[in-house]
Amino acid sequence: MKIGTEQEWQAARKELLAAERELEEQAQGVEKQRRELPWVPVEKEYGFATENGHKSFVELFEGRSQLLIYHLMFGEDWQVACPGCSSVADGLSEGILRHLNDRDVTLSCMSQAPVKNVIAEKERHRWTVPWVSAHEGEFLFDYEFAFRREEMSHIVREEYDMGQLLREAPQWLRDYREEVGAPDLESAVSVSAGWSVFAMRGSTAYNTYRVYPHSRIIAPLFSVLLELLPRK
């Protein structure tokens, strides 16, 4: 903590403002690059279980042209959903959903857990955000938000080597397995958090972007406010 005068604060703030403006310019460049990524058509016929029955992938759009999916970590044999992902879902209020809907965007959470577990967990948290189960299909595997046991030892991503992670079994992973009630370490790493973005053009859906755990974009929404404070 540094104590100073208003004049000293103004001078330091001027320096910080220049750095913030430079960072904003970089962020705008990254956003432009993101929007220019190629669109990849969704070619498989995926199906999902919801509290309102079976839905096709196109039906998840609910008639809108854009679909934003939060991949909420909840393994097929876990007792509860990931606490970190739950803090993200806590911030997905009806107000946020309404504003997204007004901008032609549908938002939904998606997990690998069976739909009965998804419904029970949603009721426990009193969430209103749509939440679907991909348990019966290949969607999460195809988009690398779920992993089969026989593949785990060969998976290397930007943020970790899954085979090495399982062999070394750090304490945080063992603690996490207990926290979510996964039966073993393989189950604890069987799903991944993140966001995926899709757009409809005509009768075809396209994947336009995916965010995996190494990105700050999947942080809880309240973390943006915490960054403004002197102590997190």
**pLDDT tens, residue by residue, 38-77:** 999 999 999 999 999 999 999 999 999 999 999 999 999 9
Q: Quote the number of domains for the chain.
A: 2
Q: Does 104 lie in the same domain as 206?
A: yes
Q: Does 20 lie in the same domain as 125?
A: no
**How confident is the model over 170-183, as a mean pLDDT?**
96
Q: Does 49 lie in the same domain as 18?
A: no
Q: Does 107 lie in the same domain as 65?
A: yes
Q: Does 87 lie in the same domain as 30?
A: no
Q: Does 53 lie in the same domain as 30?
A: no
**SS3 of 150, please?**
helix
Residue 106, domain member (yes or no): yes
pLDDT at 210 exceeding the cut of 90: yes
Residue 165, domain member (yes or no): no
Q: Tell me, what's the pLDDT at 220?
A: 65
Residue 178, domain member (yes or no): no
Question: Which of 149 and 111 is assigned the larger pLDDT?
Answer: 111
Q: Tell me, what's the pLDDT at 232?
A: 61
Q: Does 66 lie in the same domain as 30?
A: no
Residue 135 CB: number of other CB atoms within 10 A?
21
pLDDT at 215 exceeding the cut of 90: no
Residue % of the chain over a pLDDT of 90 = 77
Q: Tell me, what's the pLDDT at 217?
A: 62
Alpha-helical (H) ranges within the chain are 6-35, 83-90, 94-102, 115-125, 139-142, 162-168, 171-180, 185-188, 222-226
Residue 163, domain member (yes or no): no
Residue 13, domain member (yes or no): yes
Residue 215, domain extent? 45-146+191-226
Give Cβ neighbours of residue 37 (< 8 Å, ≥ 6 apart).
208, 209
Confidence of residue 194 (pLDDT cuts 50, 70, 90): very high
Task: Assign residue 125 the CATH number of its domain.
Answer: 3.40.30.10
Residue % of the chain over a pLDDT of 70 = 94
Q: Does 112 lie in the same domain as 26?
A: no
pTM: 0.89
Residue 218, domain member (yes or no): yes
3-state helix, strand, coil in the chain (%, to 5): 45, 20, 35
Q: Tell me, what's the pLDDT at 169?
A: 93
C-alpha 162/C-alpha 175 separation (Å) is 17
- By CB neighbour count within 10 A (0-12 exposed, 13-18 middle, 19+ buried), where does 166 fall? middle
Are 179 and 190 within 8 A, CB to CB? no
Q: Does 203 lie in the same domain as 132?
A: yes
Residue 67, domain member (yes or no): yes
Are 91 and 129 within 8 A, CB to CB? no
Q: Does 51 lie in the same domain as 18?
A: no
pLDDT tens track for 80-100: 999 999 999 998 878 899 999
Confidence of residue 161 (pLDDT cuts 50, 70, 90): confident
Residue 87, domain member (yes or no): yes
Q: Does 110 lie in the same domain as 7?
A: no
Q: Does 200 lie in the same domain as 142?
A: yes
**How confident is the model over 223-232, as a mean pLDDT?**
71
Q: Tell me, what's the pLDDT at 101?
A: 95
